[in-house]
Each structure stands twice: as structure tokens, then as C-alpha cells.
Amino acid sequence: MCKKKSLVILCAIMLCVWTLTGCGKTQTTQKDGSPDNSKQKEPEVTIAVTTNIVGEQAKVLEDIATRFMADNPGIKVDFTAPGKGYEDVLKVKMASNELPDVFSTHGWAKARYGKYLADLKDEEWASNITNSIKPIVTDESGKVYVLPMDEDKTGIVYNVDILNEYGVEIPKTFDEFLAACEQIKTKSGGKVIPVHIGGSDGWPEGQYYDFFATPALISPETNYQKELLDGTFDWSKFDILPEKFLEMWKKGYVNKDFLTSKYMDSVSAFAGGKAAFGFYGPYFIEEAKKTNPNIKGGMMPIPSMVDGDEPTFVGGEKTTWGVWKDSKNIDAAKKFVAYYAKPENIKLVAESNRLPAGIKDIDVDCGEMTPFYKQYSDIRVFPYFDRVYLPSGMWDVICKNAQDLVAGGITPQQFSQNMKKDYDRLRAQKQ
């Protein structure tokens, strides 16, 4: 009898627990009193999202992704930022035609990833792409390859106090730039290095060539755009770039430890008032401020190299999202991208990079860079030279030859010959 009574009590307890649990699932209501089951909704799809952006800027992107999932509980985002290996990861995925649903194109939306990307021209934000970035992320047919959240707009950065101390005017031509370097070197008694480059890191030395190849070969009225694109370029015309760099090196305008110094050594020299110029972007100033919050950084257009030409900025894509055209979740992927196109999210991303927005009518606080963007708002912006005119793989060729040039292993003419050799080889592989 006791056993039967205990069994009845146990069943009653279980029934109550089940009832309460079931009721608990429907207790959440909306403002109008109707049940709100959104919190319990399981994701219907998962989209893979990956970016080349790293550090604090990657965290900004990931935080927005987290908010997107909260606002869209039916979509789960698998967010990754692999860093240095990003390009290799995407090369493997392109080879197998299995790309992430959403991915960043790190400057290569059209040239490298174009055939893998869905056309986003019908998205609401597409008509608001800024005029300066539009030619870089769209084509003649009107296809929109990516959402440009901000746009890279970069010139030579400089220490404002150093230029003021030694009475240096902002140079507009390369000859004026060399004169400014001489003035700083002489008046400082050699205590200030005009240009600091972290040559052992394998990329800062390439910045000079990427910056000045445009004023030497592309921006002048008589230029070599067509020849560089169709493979008929006379590479002896490239000689001017290594020749001018070697001149700067021999005159002591570049740090003597070029071959052994690193990017962070450039940052330290700049922050310590021991370097005047840097062939880097605004991020370089932000990095220096971590060491010296009081440093005053400025940015100027890249001086012209050909008579009759005007200074330019180098730019293009910075933070982008593109959608894989064969994605099985293309609607969810487009919805994800559209979420980042909201003005408040564009503003967050652009401000994290201290760069102008890639979407119109968004007020971005670029910190101390803001007055420079306003001052030089009419300066022409050209894409990074290597992204348009060189086949994939040439960046490493530029940097290696830049090191060999300073080490005395090659002449400027041999530099150009090596460029031609690898340019032809890599073009042939691509075809």
C-alpha cells in the first residue's frame, strides 16, 4: 500500500514539474501581451564569415556580428579572422570553389575575387557608395562587388612638430621632398632621420614603391596604364623608382639600419621625435601614440614625380564584405552585409581605422586626421599600384629586390629587369 501511495506522489510531482516547465516556455510576452518565442528560436542557417582584418578593428567587426545574431536569431554567424594566413586560406578555398558565405577582399574585389562574388547592386546601400571608392568596387556594367565600409586614403605621414621646428614646407614634388629631407638632416645635425623604414619585416620597404609607382607611371597625363595591363610595358621606365630610392639611401635620408630594423622600430623612432616621415598610413600615427600620446602626426599627399603632374593619394579598399555567389545561404549573407551598411555600423568601422566612410553622408570622426582629409578632399585618389597593375605574387618580388638594392646586390636597372622577369612569369601562370 505504501509503495502504491509513494508511486502516486512521485507521478504527481513529475506532472507538476512538467507542467511548470512547459508553462515557463510561454511566459515571455511582447508589449501587446502576445507570446514572444523569438528568444527560443533555433538558428535556421549558419553563415561562414571571414576577414583579413586583425586586432582591435577585427573586434569591432565581431561585435557587430554578435549584435546581428541577437537581432536575427534565425541566423548563426561563424566569424573568423585568421590574420597572416588569410590570403593563403582563400587561395585554397578558391581552388576548391568552396568560399565563405561572406568574406573580405583586402584590396582585390575585382582583380582576384571578382568572378566569385555576387552582384550587390540591388542592395539598398549600393546607391550610396562614395564617388571616390565607387570605381574600385564596381565595374562598367554596374556590378557592385563588395560593401566598402571605409576607404583607404593614404599619403605620407609626418611629425608635425619636426617639420615646424626645421621650417619645412609640405613638398609637392619629389625634388621638393628630397630638399625637405636634406633640410631636416642638416638642421638637426643628423639627430632626426628624414625617413624611417623597417626593412627587415619584408613589407615596409614595398610601401615606397607602391606609393611612388603611381606618380611615376600612372597619374601623369602621359602614362603606362595600358601597357602595364596588357603586358607590353617597357620595364626600363621603372628604373626611376629604385634610382630615387638609392639616392635617398646614399644621401642618408633613410635609417642606416634599414636592413635590420622592423616596423615597430619605425614606430618608436617616430614616437620619439627621431624620424620625420613614414611611408605608412594613419594607422602608423595611432601606433606611435601608444608610446607617446602627445605626438602630433600629419598626413600629406604623395608628391608628383613627373613635370606637370599634381600630388596624389593612394587608396582603395580597406574594410569590405563580399558575398560568395554560390553560397547556399545567399539571402542570409546579403542580410548580414546589409546590417553592416547601417550608418551607425559604418561609422564604428571607419572610426576604428581613422578613415573616411565608404558610404555617403556618414560623419566620421577620424581624430587628428579629420582636418587633413578635409584639407585634401579634392586630391585625386588612385588604387594601390600592385593591386591593379601587377599579378598576384609581385609584392614579395618588390620587397626582396628593395632589400637587395640597399645591400648592394643589384643595381636599379637589375631591379627593373627582375621585376619584368617575375611579372612575365606570374602573368603566364595566371593565364
Q: Please, what is the average pLDDT of the chain?
A: 89
Say how many C-beta atoms besides its own lie within 10 A of residue 99's C-beta: 22
Q: For 52-66, how does the pLDDT look when each residue is reduced to its tens digit (9 = 90+)?
A: 998 888 999 999 999
Nearest to 386 by CA among 224, 145, 134, 213: 213
CA dihedral for 138, 118, 146, 92, sign (positive or negative) = negative
Q: Count H helices, E strands: the chain?
A: 17, 12
Q: For 204-223, how does the pLDDT look when each residue is reduced to its tens digit (9 = 90+)?
A: 999 999 999 999 999 999 99
| Cα→Cα distances 205→75, 133, 278, 353, 378, Å | 43, 26, 11, 22, 28
What is the pLDDT averaged over residues 261-269?
95
pLDDT of residue 198 exceeding 50 = yes
What is the pLDDT averaged over residues 31-47?
62
Residue 248 CA to residue 312 CA, distance in Å, equals 21
Query: Which strands, in side-by-side order, build the sheet including 313-317?
Result: 151-154, 313-317, 381-383
Say how many C-beta atoms besides its own lie within 10 A of residue 57's C-beta: 18
Query: Length of the chain in residues, anyone?
Result: 431
What is the pLDDT averaged over residues 38-62?
84
Q: For 124-164, how does the pLDDT look when each residue is reduced to its tens digit (9 = 90+)?
A: 999 999 988 998 899 999 999 999 999 988 999 999 999 99
Instruction: Select the highest-mean-pLDDT range: 24-33, 104-113, 142-151, 351-360.
Output: 142-151
Residue 344 CA to residue 106 CA, distance in Å, equals 22
Say how many C-beta atoms besides its own lie within 10 A of residue 81's C-beta: 18
Q: What's the confidence (pLDDT) of residue 336?
A: 98
Residue 294 CA to residue 292 CA, distance in Å, equals 5
| Cα→Cα distances 331→57, 120, 337, Å | 26, 11, 10
Decide if 90 contacts 103 (C-beta within 8 A).
yes
Q: How many Cα atoms occupy the beta-carbon half-sphere of 134 within 13 Å? A: 14
CA 400 to chain centre: 22
Q: How large a percentage of the chain has pLDDT more than 70?
A: 90
**Which residue would you say has higher pLDDT here, 23 or 347?**
347
Q: What's the confidence (pLDDT) of residue 12?
A: 46
Residue 279 CA to residue 123 CA, distance in Å, equals 36
Q: What's the confidence (pLDDT) of residue 250?
A: 97
Nearest to 281 by CA among 383, 161, 158, 423: 158
Give the pLDDT band (50/70/90) at residue 431: low
pLDDT of residue 316 exceeding 90 = no
Q: What's the confidence (pLDDT) of residue 20?
A: 38
Which cell numbers in the block locate residue 215?
A: 606618380
pLDDT of residue 83 exceeding 50 = yes
Amino acid identity of residue 369, one-letter, is M
What is the pLDDT averaged over residues 386-394?
90
| Cα→Cα distances 167→163, 297, 345, Å | 6, 16, 41
CA dihedral for 246, 247, 250, 256, sign (positive or negative) = negative
Q: How large a percentage of the chain has pLDDT more than 90?
A: 74
Which cell numbers in the block locate residue 279?
A: 611611408
